[in-house]
Amino acid sequence: MCMLQSYKYRIYPNKEQETLIWKHFGACRFVFNWSLEQKIKAYELTGASLSCYTLNKMLPGLKNDYPWLKEVNSQSLQQANINLDTAFTKFFREKKGFPQFKSKKNPVQSFQIPQHCTVDFVNGVMSLPKIKGIKTIFHRFFEGTIKTVTVSVTTTKKYFVSILVDDGKEQPSKQPFDSSNTVGIDVGISSFAVLSTGEKVDNPKYLRNSEARLKVLQRRLSRKKKGSKNFQKTKQKVAKQHEMIANQRSDFLNKLSCKIVSENQAIAIEDLNVSGMLKNHCLAKSISDCSWSEFFRMLTYKAARVGKTILKIGRYVPSSKTCSVCDNINSDLSLSDREWSCSNCHTHHDRDVNAAINIKKFALQEQNLIGIYTG
């Protein structure tokens, strides 16, 4: 299996290119919403489901009704239907939620291009169908075949391209591991991650630390007349503050995941029901600020690149309540107990370190595994 890798670059379109990009955003959003409406109507009337191929065959007729659709790349419109088909597949197979109509009021917009995209690293430009010579900052180079290009805009009006590349290299084979080169990770709120080695990684709490500034900006925004220029300026300041928090968190997660993957042959983690935890309104903000799911996602794809292994144990394994020395279970342990002593062997435990050790121990026992991820 060949490896696919994504490279994200910032682009600086001129006024004409920016206009074409926004036409693509609008046209792809329109086709997505139109196709979703057709699928809903067809199911209500006949009980049949329209495939993306059927919807793509209907696009020429749609272009005759709406001539402005001819101004954008036709393959981007077809890709919108493919994305809709993927959304329905996730709805039926993974219960991800029914596809929703896209709004033009959403500040984050994107479209995809599957072919005919070229990059010029020397001159720092990228060319797309209908949009040629876009100034691009190539902070790193790549070799391989471009599969798809996704153009997006953020809430702060910054434009990016994400290039999916097939480098033609085979995925590295799985490296052997044992207890000596496997690490268990227990994630939490007070400490972001605790390793089975006893190392604790502090939680940076980027959102909590920026709340004071956010409150000031949001208070100013609430006092502005909605739709005015001052309202838009203040809204951009709020968006920039949120973007800074997201960038800080992403940088922290990337560096920590790289460090853990490079130092270990196998990584044991717990299958957490994060969406269920977020229903606890006392802890929801702190849990969201941690981004555990994103951290596990980074660990998984980075481990796959270098042939490392991710071991995942079930969410109902009593990793915190089990003594890592004698396997005695302390059923009276509550969430507020950060330290406890085993009633059987009298070993004094740090709750989080003990949980990390148990996660590693349980992961190395095959009967506790729910998944082994190698890419």
Catalytic machinery residues: 186, 270, 352
CA-based nearest residue to 200, from 213, 216, 215, 188: 188
Instruction: Give the three-state DSSP class for 165.
Output: strand
- Is residue 2 within 8 A of residue 169, CB to CB? The reply is yes
Number of DSSP helices (H) and strands (E) in the chain, helices first? 11, 15
Tokens representing residue 107 in the block: 């500040």
- Is residue 201 within 8 A of residue 191, CB to CB? The reply is yes
Say which residues have a Cβ less than 8 Å from residue 180's Cβ, sequence separation at least 6: none
* DSSP 8-state assignment for residue 350: E
Q: Dihedral through CA 271, CA 275, CA 279, CA 285, nearest 10?
A: 90
Say which residues have a Cβ less than 8 Å from residue 57's Cβ, sequence separation at least 6: none
CA-based nearest residue to 15, from 172, 130, 134: 134
Q: What is the DSSP string of 63-127?
A: HHHSGGGGGS-HHHHHHHHHHHHHHHHHHHHH---------TT-S-EEEEE-S--EEETTTTEEE
